[in-house]
């Protein structure tokens, strides 16, 4: 394996690289740096996040450029965080060369940026939107540009910057060199390359060799309501948890940060609605380890350069395989091990399968940690912490007070009392809520819910002052089962019934196992079949009829009625046929004879369209004579039709 000295880099740059503890170049750096130092071709580099792409193009820029106070290199980045990170990384690599590096982005003062551009910048890093703003204001001149670099090009296209990128391309110096770096290579990126870059050399660095080799990738299948409980178990059992949690929306980030802080964890949130100073402040607190949990949307997936991240947790499953790649690239970096965990609901199983197929990585399913196992794991962590203190001998200053505590008391009891005072809540199993393991059947719920739902009996009714709404709120609050998952709530004076899925029934019954409300034990258990409000009516069992009683006077009832054929009831004679009981009438039909129509007797082969004779055997209606048709003479000839030509123009009258 080569070193940075083998890449023909100046000693001043090597010294700056050595201060950052870079020893050997990554595969993308080993291939790109010599090619850019020659400066002969445009380059497209494909490598996963966290493989050192910034240094791959930053080191050649430092080597090739000289301070001129003019924009010689323009680097486009999709987010503010990534733009700031690139600028800081290049500035730290140049040593004392004197190149002016600056990052510009939205929600930053135009005046500050304009003054800096007017004084002169050598390497400019910015987001497409803010670069476009300065081009429109004529405050940015790109005619001296030598290098145009697009970092994370696929992400910029996903964010809708394709038009801005094309406009910026047209404003640049045609003699420039173009460098395009991307973690993935979709068609849109190749289209930009073909249209604006011309001839280029494609360099690929396999992500599995650098990023995913040290990252343990797993997923849990869990209902939405159980995600927070599962997150707590993972963080409580991890050794020195220091991780990033990804959510879809800003609202989800704020809600999760609030719940984590309320439960005693230390977390900060990062999303687009925060002011730039807030984002930088929260990110710096995370880098300084003042908080060990950072909850963020996808804007932070590219742009957070934090060392030693132990966990990346996809609280919400990524929308596609590319976003999954960029998220998990935050851990397992620089040869250190990391863990990437994804939470999916049963209905998101197909999306997880697609990500596995596209990423070509074996993402294994883990079993949800049991509560007892979590408690035992926390006890092991405490034991390891105590052993670490004993090995360092940092407890010597507390020996005197320890002797006083154990002087008249059993040391075992003293240790137990200390554990109770400081760790009682940590080892309390009731602090955790049960999570039902999801089965394959939960991915395909029945369309006919009532056939498989469980009926629950609730020992609370109207007499306790509950309404349907207040009872539903009580159940959802105590069990965290969503109200939309509770069906067919029926309230009575003393009790009520609800219908839920079997898994939700288990959760609700456990949540109310020892619950007491208004001095009354709130019993919720499976309803008996005879108690179901919609299964049986409370009329009791049906009495058997047995033999029919004897009629007064000993007169028999006779035979029972039969319901087939035409037999009447009770042995009467058959019903008379219609032909014998009612007179038949002769019907006549008409037949066509020449041009006139005549009536003919039925059955003489006439058309079936004929009309019958009058009712009750009366004679046929007499035919009405209308006489000869009146003539009106010949048609008058009015001559040829007059042609008027075009219509005259419309007259306009002045008011």
Phi, psi of 150 (to 5 degrees): -110, 110
Q: How many CA atoms lie within 13 A of 407 on its CB side?
A: 7
pLDDT at 642 over 50: yes
Residue 532 has pLDDT above 50, yes or no: no
∠ Cα 566 569 571 (to 5°): 95
Highest mean pLDDT among 114-123, 326-335, 401-410: 114-123
Judgement on whether residues 15 and 96 belong to the same structural domain of the protein: yes
CB 362 within 8 A of CB 334: no
Is pLDDT larger for residue 213 or for residue 255? 255
230 shares a domain with 162: no
Give the pLDDT confidence of 465-520 residue by residue, as tens digits: 888 888 888 888 888 887 777 888 888 888 888 988 877 888 888 888 777 777 76
User: Taking a C-beta distance cutoff of 8 angstroms, is the pair 203, 32 a contact?
Assistant: yes
Is residue 629 situated within a structural domain?
no
Same domain flag for 475 and 421:
no
| Same-domain check for residues 63 and 143 | yes
pLDDT of residue 447: 39
Same domain? For 408 and 464 the reply is no
334-350 pLDDT per residue, tens: 677 889 999 998 888 88
Residue 243 is part of a domain; what is its CATH number?
3.40.50.300
Q: Which range among 18-27, 156-165, 335-344 shows the weakest confidence by mean pLDDT? A: 18-27
Following CA atoms 74, 76, 80, 82 in sequence, which dihedral angle do they give, to the nearest 10 degrees?
A: -100
Residues in the chain: 655
Has residue 526 got a pLDDT over 90?
Answer: no
Q: Are 364 and 216 in contact (CB under 8 A)?
A: no
Given this model, what pLDDT does residue 310 score?
92
Q: Is 462 helix (H, G, I), strand (E, B) or coil?
A: helix
Q: How many domains does the chain divide into?
A: 4
Q: What angle do CA 642, 648, 654 make, to 5 degrees?
A: 150
What beta strand segments (E) does 170-322 contain?
177-182, 200-204, 215-221, 243-246, 267-270, 293-296, 311-314
Q: Are 293 and 245 in contact (CB under 8 A)?
A: yes
- Looking at the structure, tell me whether residues 84 and 167 fall in a common domain: yes
What is the structure's pLDDT at 446? 43
pTM: 0.49
Residue 79 lies in a domain: yes
Claim to verify: residue 74 and residue 158 sit in the same structural domain: yes
Structure tokens at 222: 């869990």
* 377 and 519 both lie in a single domain: no
DSSP characters over 559-619: PPPP-STTPPGGGPPPPPPHHHHS-----EEEEEETTEEEEEETTSS--TTPPPPPGGGPP
Contact 149, 98 (CB under 8 A): no
The residue from 184, 209, 234 where one domain ends is 209
Contact 327, 346 (CB under 8 A): no
Residue 474: give its domain's CATH number.
Answer: 3.30.70.330
pLDDT of 616: 56
Residue 8: domain span: 4-209
Domain membership of residue 441 (yes or no) is no
Higher-scoring residue by pLDDT: 529, 377: 377
Q: Rounded CA gap, 245 and 341, in Å?
A: 10
pLDDT above 90 covers what percent of the chain?
11
Same domain, 67 and 158: yes
- Segment 425-437 shows an average pLDDT of 79
Does the structure show a pLDDT above 60 at 561? Answer: no
Domain's final residue, options 531, 555, 577: 531
Say what the pLDDT of residue 162 is. 81
Q: Is the pLDDT of residue 649 over 80?
A: no
Interstrand relation of 200-204 and 42-46 (parallel, antiparallel or unpaired): parallel
Task: Determine the 3-state secondary structure of 122 from DSSP.
Answer: coil
44 and 160, same domain (yes or no): yes
pLDDT at 449: 42
Same domain assignment for residues 491 and 511: yes
Tell me if residue 313 falls in helix, strand or coil.
strand
User: What is the Cα–Cα distance from 94 to 317, expressed in whole angstroms?
Assistant: 39
- State the average pLDDT over residues 450-470: 80
User: Residue 194: inside a domain, yes or no?
Assistant: yes
Mean pLDDT (the chain, rounded): 77
Read off the pLDDT of residues 288-301 as tens digits, 9 standing for 90 and up: 999 999 999 876 55
Say which residue, 314 or 570, is predicted with more confidence: 314
Residues 377 and 361 in one domain: no
């Amino acid at each position: 394996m080569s070193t940075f000295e083998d890449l023909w880099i100046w000693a001043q740059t090597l010294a700056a690289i050595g201060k950052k503890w870079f020893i050997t170049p990554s595969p993308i750096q080993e291939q790109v740096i010599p090619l850019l130092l020659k400066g002969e071709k445009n380059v497209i580099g494909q490598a996963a996040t966290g493989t050192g792409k910034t240094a791959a193009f930053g080191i050649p820029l430092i080597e090739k450029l000289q301070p001129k106070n003019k924009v010689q290199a323009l680097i486009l980045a999709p987010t503010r965080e990534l733009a700031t990170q690139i600028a800081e990384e290049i500035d730290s690599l140049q040593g004392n060369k004197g190149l002016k590096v600056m990052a510009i982005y939205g929600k930053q003062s135009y005046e500050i940026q304009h003054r800096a551009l007017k004084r002169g910048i050598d390497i400019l890093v910015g987001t497409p939107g803010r670069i476009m703003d300065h081009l429109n204001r004529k405050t940015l001149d790109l005619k001296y540009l030598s290098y145009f670099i697009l970092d994370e090009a696929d992400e910029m296209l996903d964010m809708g910057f394709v038009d801005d990128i094309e406009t910026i391309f047209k404003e640049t110096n045609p003699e420039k060199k173009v460098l395009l770096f991307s973690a993935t290579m979709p068609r849109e990126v190749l289209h930009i390359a073909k249209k604006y870059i011309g001839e280029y050399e494609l360099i690929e660095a396999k992500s599995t060799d650098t990023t995913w080799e040290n990252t343990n990738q797993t997923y849990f299948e869990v209902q939405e309501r159980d995600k927070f409980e599962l997150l707590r178990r993972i963080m409580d059992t991890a050794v020195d948890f220091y991780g990033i949690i990804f959510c879809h929306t800003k609202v989800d980030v704020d809600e999760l940060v609030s719940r984590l802080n309320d439960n005693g964890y230390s977390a900060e949130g990062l999303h687009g609605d925060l002011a730039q100073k807030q984002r930088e402040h929260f990110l710096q607190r995370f880098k300084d380890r003042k908080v060990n949990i950072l909850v963020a949307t996808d804007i932070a997936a590219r742009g957070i350069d934090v060392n030693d991240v132990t966990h990346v947790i996809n609280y919400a499953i990524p929308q596609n395989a590319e976003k999954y790649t960029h998220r998990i690239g935050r851990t397992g970096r620089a040869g250190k091990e990391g863990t990437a965990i994804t939470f999916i609901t049963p209905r998101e199983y197909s999306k997880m399968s697609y990500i596995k197929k596209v990423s070509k990585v074996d993402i294994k399913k883990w079993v949800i940690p049991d509560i007892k196992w979590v408690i035992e794991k926390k006890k092991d962590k405490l034991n390891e912490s105590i052993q670490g203190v004993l090995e360092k001998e940092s407890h010597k200053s507390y020996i005197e007070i320890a002797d006083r505590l154990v002087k008249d008391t059993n040391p075992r009891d003293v240790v137990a009392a200390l554990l109770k005072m400081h760790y009682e809540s940590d080892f309390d199993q009731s602090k955790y809520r049960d999570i039902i393991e999801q089965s394959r059947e939960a991915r395909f719920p029945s369309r006919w819910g009532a056939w498989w739902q469980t009926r629950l009996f609730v020992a609370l009714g109207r007499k306790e002052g509950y309404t349907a709404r207040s009872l539903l709120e009580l159940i959802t609050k105590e069990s965290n089962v969503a109200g939309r998952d509770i069906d067919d709530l029926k309230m009575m004076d003393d009790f009520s019934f609800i219908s839920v899925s079997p898994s939700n029934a288990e959760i609700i019954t456990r949540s109310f196992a020892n619950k007491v409300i208004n001095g009354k034990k709130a019993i919720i258990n499976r309803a008996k079949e005879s108690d179901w409000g919609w299964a049986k009516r409370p009329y009791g069992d049906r009495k058997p009829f047995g033999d029919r009683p004897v009629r007064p006077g000993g007169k028999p009832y006779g035979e029972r009625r039969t319901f087939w054929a035409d037999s009447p009831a009770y042995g009467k004679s058959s019903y008379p046929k219609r032909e014998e009981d009612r007179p038949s009438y002769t019907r006549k039909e008409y037949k066509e004879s020449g041009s006139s129509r005549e009536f003919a007797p039925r059955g003489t082969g006439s058309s079936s369209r004929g009309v019958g004779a009058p009712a009750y055997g009366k004679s046929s209606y007499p035919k009405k004579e209308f006489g000869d048709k009146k003539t009106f003479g010949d048609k008058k000839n009015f001559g040829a039709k007059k042609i008027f030509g075009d219509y005259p123009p419309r007259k306009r009258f002045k008011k």
